[in-house]
Structure 1
Amino acid sequence: MNIHFNTPEGTRDRLFAECLERRQVQSALVDLFRRRGYAEVITPEVEFYDLFVYSGSPLPQETMLKIIDRSGKIMVMRPDTTTPIARLAATKLKTLPLPQRLYYDQTVFRSGNAHEGGSSEIAQCGVEMLGATGMKADLEMITLAVDALRACGLSGFHIEVGHVGFYQDLASRMNMPQEEQERMRLLIEGKNYAVLNDFLEPYSAQPDCAALRRLPYLFGGAEVLEEARTLAGACTSLDYLELLYRELCQAGYGDWVQFDLGLVHQIDYYTGVVFRGYANGAGAPVLSGGRYDNLVELFGRRAEATGFAVDVDAVGGCLEVEVPQLRTVIHYESGLLGRALEVMDRLPAGTCELSPCRTLSSTMNLASEKGALQVLCLDNSGERWLEV
């Protein structure tokens, strides 16, 4: 029999420090979201495949892990949390007044390309604000994103903000077939400078070609907005970003905010402000979100929305979390288990454990093997601390 004892592709075991990192991040985020008025929801780990097809999910169908149920219907392991929450808001929560502030702490499952080393299990903790639009809602979401990464213990991070309307305005002015616009979008999103430059060469006579050619480079501080205005002229999305940044600075959040006008991913899904969070030590964004005003309405309830998700393990990997070291093994005589547990509960978590050994000498050997510093012996005569 050929039995495989390794984990399936895209999954792995997490031990000790990685577990502590995940729990620390989750605890910090959940505490923050609750304090900011968000209520938890939990959606099924398995959803109907048709839910994501109907919603126009930007996730390629080949990335979804599929299951066939007993009736033959195609199911998927939850590849995304926002779509199920949109369904939930339009059905189970439809009688509750808007806006609704919801948070989740769940795993999403996605199948990456073979042998690329990506994870199929992604622990996410995030928020969705449903039924709120305008400047105040976008401000709340971006400040919450900043505070989320601060609460996790990150110091070297920033949030890059863009607006899908800027690209849409430029692209709509171009005399270019729709399929070519989509190719251009992918080149801009991937910051594929050389190929984009060659691609736009046949369109160089059009007035907005220079702005589109420059778009992947438009990231950085507030000066990016000025350069964009010089290239593209009057633009309502740039006006909105300038006002948004002014409010963020007045609230004390300006130091964590930058801009990336080349954020044009999932252009049919997002409808306004989009943003990503980057942290020192992470090779990819640790936070991603934005405004998506059309999704909930697909399920029968009009509710503009915005939100973001934090990649819990990516954030945890940027932290320095130490696993507590075993210092004390407690040896207790018959009838003294209660006393042993009382002592154990007074000591720092993870630094002590009970001995299963019958004799003190066996406990001393065990403590030595495990690298403990001392043994606490509890017997009828009292307590004795013995150095290992």
Structure 2
Amino acid sequence: MKNLTLHTPEGVRDIYNSEYEQRLDALYNLRKCFKEAGYSPISTPTFEYFDTFSKEVGSCKSNEMFKFFDRDGNTLVLRPDITPSVARAAAMYFSDTDEAVKLSYEGNVFINYHSLQGRLKESTQAGCEFIGDSSVDADAEILTITVNALKKLGLKEFEIGVGHIDVVRGLIEAANLSDDQEEKLINLISNKNFFGAKELLQQAEVSKGLIDLFDITGKIMNSPKEWAPYLEKAKKYKKVYDALEYLTKLYELLNKNKVMDYISFELGMISEYKYYTGIIFTGYSYGVGEPLVKGGRYDSLLSHFGKEAPAIGFAITVDQLMLALRRQS
């Protein structure tokens, strides 16, 4: 029988010497960047009650969480995502204020991926949450901080794709599909199989005008000029039209903040996190397969914990960031 005492479980690893020193430096610089932007640090527990990350929250699949029990029989989980933890803490400690709350964090998250996926089951995240402001200015601030933080750490080659949850959601609602067809369509768009998506829509006898508008989900665009031809068609579908108009305002602010060199718009973007309600974004760098940053607006999440407040935030996966920096060098 294999002696396991000198080995780590699958999906976790030791980090030491210069690699660990570089990681500590990166976390220090991220912390400094977040503080300069006006975000106060918060630390939440490594494990919490299962309900904090339940299906209603929409953070992580139940079978991908590490679960265990306390002495009273309550189900606990190692946190798979820090955002719900910060939302819970904000609802608890800032319940009596209507002012905006800006929080930053760092910590490890744990997701029990299938072994064949070859992904780390423990990773380090650092990020910010802007709670209590529903404006497009708050969205622009979060995206600007994300870009500036990555640049400050020395990352040169990266791109953040920005979408809006209501583009795809509005199109699918307008298509009036069955539950089975809707699920298949979401999977096709998520996997960027736009030919398959078009074929499904044709088989469902969706109108040609709406199918033409679905073309927008396969586009990566750099400015509102590129989605302007779709706006006239989108006027029939308020949710889609409003989302495109919102992204136009966001572009203007991001352009003013001089960060558009690192941002594009992916209008077919879908997130596995169910709590997102507005813009969503994902960042990648050359030679790194996994996202190094994820974020978005989640205006309904805090209500799960008893506080009605809009919010937006992001998380940088430090493991992927360090890999990108090494490959860049």
**Fold shared per TM-score above 0.5:** yes
Corresponding position of 1:103: 104
SS in 2 for 1:297: helix
Letter in 1 for 2:212: A
| TM-superposed deviation, 1:14 | 1.9
Corresponding position of 1:361: none
Letter in 2 for 1:189: S
Residues paired across the two proteins, number: 320
How far, CA to CA, are the matches of 1:139 and 1:20 in structure 2? Answer: 32
Q: Would you say the 8 A contact 1:164–1:274 is kept in 2?
A: yes
Quick one: structure 1 residues 196 and 257, their matched pair in 2 at CA, closer, same or farther if it must change by over 3 Å?
same
Corresponding position of 1:196: 197
How far, CA to CA, are the matches of 1:307 and 1:278 in structure 2? Answer: 17
Higher alpha-carbon deviation: 65-74 or 292-301: 65-74
- Structure ranking higher in helix proportion: 2
SS in 1 for 2:247: helix
| TM-superposed deviation, 1:231 | 5.5
Q: Would you say the 8 A contact 2:59–2:81 is kept in 1?
A: no
Quick one: structure 1 residues 39 and 205, their matched pair in 2 at CA, closer, same or farther if it must change by over 3 Å?
closer
Q: Would you say the 8 A contact 2:189–2:217 is kept in 1?
A: yes
Corresponding position of 2:162: 161
Letter in 2 for 1:279: S
Corresponding position of 2:259: 253
- 2:278 aligned residue (241, 254, 272): 272
Corresponding position of 1:209: 211
How far, CA to CA, are the matches of 1:191 and 1:21 in structure 2? Answer: 36
Corresponding position of 1:37: 38
Corresponding position of 1:123: 124
Corresponding position of 1:232: 234
SS in 2 for 1:101: strand
| TM-superposed deviation, 1:274 | 1.1
Q: Would you say the 8 A contact 1:170–1:232 is kept in 2?
A: no
**If you compute each CA radius of gyration, which structure gives the higher value, 1 or 2?**
1
Q: Would you say the 8 A contact 2:221–2:227 is kept in 1?
A: no
Let me know the Cα RMSD of the aligned residues.
Answer: 2.0
How far, CA to CA, are the matches of 1:216 and 1:190 in structure 2? Answer: 11
Q: Would you say the 8 A contact 1:286–1:311 is kept in 2?
A: yes
Quick one: structure 1 residues 298 and 205, their matched pair in 2 at CA, closer, same or farther if it must change by over 3 Å?
closer
Q: Would you say the 8 A contact 1:24–1:152 is kept in 2?
A: no
SS in 1 for 2:115: coil
SS in 2 for 1:44: coil
Corresponding position of 1:3: 3
Q: Would you say the 8 A contact 2:58–2:274 is kept in 1?
A: no
1:24-173 paired onto structure 2 within 5 Å = 24-53=25-54, 55-173=56-174
Letter in 2 for 1:273: I
Runs of 4+ in 1 over 4 A off after TM superposition: none
| TM-superposed deviation, 1:2 | 5.4
Percent of residue pairs bearing the same amino acid type: 32
How far, CA to CA, are the matches of 2:108 and 2:286 in structure 1? Answer: 24
State the TM-score, normalizing by the size of structure 1: 0.77
Q: Which runs of 5+ in 2 are unaligned?
A: none
Corresponding position of 2:315: 309
How far, CA to CA, are the matches of 1:83 and 1:304 in structure 2? Answer: 13
SS in 2 for 1:50: helix
Q: Which runs of 5+ in 1 are unaligned?
A: 322-388
State the TM-score, normalizing by the size of structure 2: 0.91
Quick one: structure 1 residues 92 and 77, their matched pair in 2 at CA, closer, same or farther if it must change by over 3 Å?
same
SS in 2 for 1:119: coil
Q: Would you say the 8 A contact 1:55–1:295 is kept in 2?
A: no
Quick one: structure 1 residues 117 and 227, their matched pair in 2 at CA, closer, same or farther if it must change by over 3 Å?
farther
SS in 2 for 1:148: helix
